[in-house]
Structure 1
Amino acid sequence: MSKKDIELTGPLVLTVKERKKRAKRTSANWSAITLSLVIPILLLAVWSIVTFTELIPSYQLPSPIAVVETIVGLAQDGSLWSHLGITFSRVIIGSLIGTIIAVLLGSVVGFYSKAERLFDPIIQAFKSIPSLAWVPLFILWMGIGEPSKISLIAVGVFFPVYLNMVSGILNVDRKLIEVGKVYGLSHFELVRRIILPATFPSFFTGLRSGLGLGWMFVVAAELMGASQGLGYLLVIGQNSSSPDLIIASIFLFAVVGKCTDWLVKIVENKVLSWRDNSVIGG
């Protein structure tokens, strides 16, 4: 084979290999999606059977069709999008504030032992306070407007992000830091090139946990005199004895919460593409 043939064949070989990799990646993605749908489909089937056979009366557990009709009705009159939008904005703003404060304070506590002895005991004490215990205090301080709701969500997001940030910094392999010092890296370069990348896995774990708590705290936040939001729909469903509206609100919480977690997971996979994941048990 001549040199010209090799030059022509080389790119073709690489293209075939790349196609095989893409096909394998696509097959793995579809397999993961299919597997993730197994339990939801089973739960939906059980739910349908239970309601169709009236093992549980409809005033306690409405059928999936009734819940879907409720969601469609909310979408048609336009109220669904306003409720979703206000709840989503509260969670995002509260999560952003809680995350920023947690990253700043967690970085200081993780880097400096004196700061850990100063701040960590009181933060651990605050962490033990139930979420609903903050509600009357925030209402007293800020009223029933948006600041009190966003503050409550920020409190819920703060603790898991803070704890994982501190843990990630403290668990950085000291050998990597020593290697960086040997190569003459400055303090700033050590943080940027070694400590921060090593902390990202813990940070994203805390962020996903905090975001999940943010969706939980927004329910308590929207019980504080809200006139819009998915939590408000829960209250309306309770007061009007409408189980279809209650379950529709819960379902919407689950779907939107899962979507936000999925988006964070995508960002995590992009940022941590260098990570060597271990799969135990296949």
Structure 2
Amino acid sequence: MATDTGGEFDGSGLRADVGIGDPQRLLRGIAGLAGFVALWHLVSLAQPAIVLPSPVAVAAEFRGQFASGTMPAALASSVRHWVPGTIAGTGLGVAAGVAFAWSGLLDDVTAPLIRLLRPVPPLALIGFAIAWFGLNHAGAAFIIAVGGFWINFYASYGAVEEVSDDLIDVGRTLGVRGDLDMVRSVVLPASLPGIMTGIRTGLGRCWMLVIAAEIFSVPGVGREILRASNNLRVDRAIAYIFVLSLMYLLVDVAFRAVQRRVLAWQA
């Protein structure tokens, strides 16, 4: 069994006394990143630039795209459909997951439809997005929302299902009456860790879906990646991939800070 001396865990499964500012963890992370870049550089020496450009070439392309204004404009465009798509997919997914898991009637009525629609990938809905919304941000947001919905739906559904019957009985003993009061006072607080884990996973999935959402010529980072790939500009494609990675990192760090604060009562 691996041991970890970097800190203890609180009740939410998150490190309670360390974060990205912890010196030991920060040094480990820097060492791992440096090792990856070094390996990448060594491998690129044996490959033509069209197959695998060096880190230096990618960094130069990154600076060029950023300085020209192309990269900031593409990122701003992606954010315009990532934000509404993520909010819609997350909100609807959490609400539906909680409602269907708590209500046996809703679960029975919708189970066949859920099983029918769940295997449909967001890419298969591009034609519907174009027909319903057009080649614009709304169509891209729809694709992102569909992908984010299912992750949050199943995470919330599973979290509510795992709420202990004993806990619900205690709530009734303490005077909690009615489904809405029970969900608000007992079920949601007890299932919140699982729900927030689903939200965090969904945030990353929605950034991944930016590329799929922009496959039908909606401006953004995804379209720049596709254009670069079609023109065999691997260095440019990797530079824009790093943009998506950096955006996800920023969002994930911010969400983890919120998650710790919201779940601090579990410690």
Q: TM-score range by the shorter chain?
A: 0.7 to 0.9
Distance in 1, matches of 2:31 and 2:112, equals: 44
* Other-structure match for 1:223: 215
Distance in 1, matches of 2:19 and 2:200, equals: 25
Aligned amino acid, residue 73 of structure 1: G
| CA separation of 1:33 and 1:274: change in aligned 2, threshold 3 A | farther
SS of match in other structure, 1:37? helix
SS of match in other structure, 2:264? coil
Distance in 2, matches of 1:39 and 1:92, equals: 31
* Other-structure match for 2:188: 196
* Other-structure match for 1:6: none
My pick for the range that moved more, 179-188 or 201-210, is: 179-188
Task: Summarize the alignment of residues 33-44 of structure 1 with structure 2, pairs less than 5 Å apart.
Answer: 33-44=26-37
Question: How many pairs align?
Answer: 250
> Is contact 2:74-2:220 (8 Å) kept?
yes
TM-score (structure 2 length as normaliser): 0.87
Greater per-residue helix proportion: 1
Distance in 1, matches of 2:112 and 2:258, equals: 32
Post-superposition Cα deviations, 1:107-161, rounded to whole Å, max 9, x if no partner, equal 2202210100111331232121122211122223322112211000000000010
SS of match in other structure, 1:129? coil
* Other-structure match for 1:262: 253
Aligned residues with identical type, % of pairs: 27
Task: Summarize the alignment of residues 6-25 of structure 1 with structure 2, pairs less than 5 Å apart.
Answer: none
Distance in 2, matches of 1:31 and 1:121, equals: 50
Q: Which has the higher contact order (CA 8 A, sep 6+)?
A: 2
Task: Summarize the alignment of residues 123-142 of structure 1 with structure 2, pairs less than 5 Å apart.
Answer: 123-142=114-133
Distance in 2, matches of 1:27 and 1:81, equals: 26
Task: Summarize the alignment of residues 101-112 of structure 1 with structure 2, pairs less than 5 Å apart.
Answer: 101-112=92-103
* Other-structure match for 1:209: 201
| CA separation of 1:114 and 1:229: change in aligned 2, threshold 3 A | same
Q: Does structure 1 residue 31 correspond to structure 2 residue 24?
A: yes
SS of match in other structure, 2:251? helix
Distance in 2, matches of 1:200 and 1:272, equals: 8
My pick for the range that moved more, 59-68 or 116-125, is: 116-125
Q: Does structure 1 residue 114 correspond to structure 2 residue 105?
A: yes
Give how far 1:244 is off.
0.8
Aligned amino acid, residue 159 of structure 1: W
Distance in 2, matches of 1:97 and 1:27, equals: 30
My pick for the range that moved more, 260-269 or 138-147, is: 138-147
Aligned amino acid, residue 194 of structure 2: S
My pick for the range that moved more, 206-215 or 146-155, is: 206-215
Q: Does structure 1 residue 72 correspond to structure 2 residue 72?
A: no
| CA separation of 1:120 and 1:263: change in aligned 2, threshold 3 A | farther
Distance in 2, matches of 1:142 and 1:264, equals: 30
Higher-Rg structure is 1
Distance in 2, matches of 1:73 and 1:204, equals: 38
Choose the corresponding residue for 1:83, options 74, 83, 96.
74
TM-score (structure 1 length as normaliser): 0.82
Give how far 1:86 is off.
1.5
| CA separation of 1:25 and 1:225: change in aligned 2, threshold 3 A | closer
- Where does the alignment leave 5 or more consecutive residues of structure 1 unmatched? 1-23, 277-282
* Other-structure match for 1:237: 228
Distance in 2, matches of 1:234 and 1:111, equals: 42
Distance in 2, matches of 1:91 and 1:248, equals: 19
Give how far 1:27 is off.
10
Give how far 1:26 is off.
7.9
SS of match in other structure, 2:261? helix
- Where does the alignment leave 5 or more consecutive residues of structure 2 unmatched? 1-16
Distance in 2, matches of 1:26 and 1:38, equals: 17
| CA separation of 1:206 and 1:124: change in aligned 2, threshold 3 A | farther
* Other-structure match for 1:156: 147
Aligned amino acid, residue 272 of structure 1: L
Distance in 1, matches of 2:46 and 2:20, equals: 40
Post-superposition Cα deviations, 1:18-48, rounded to whole Å, max 9, x if no partner, equal xxxxxx7589822223333333221111011
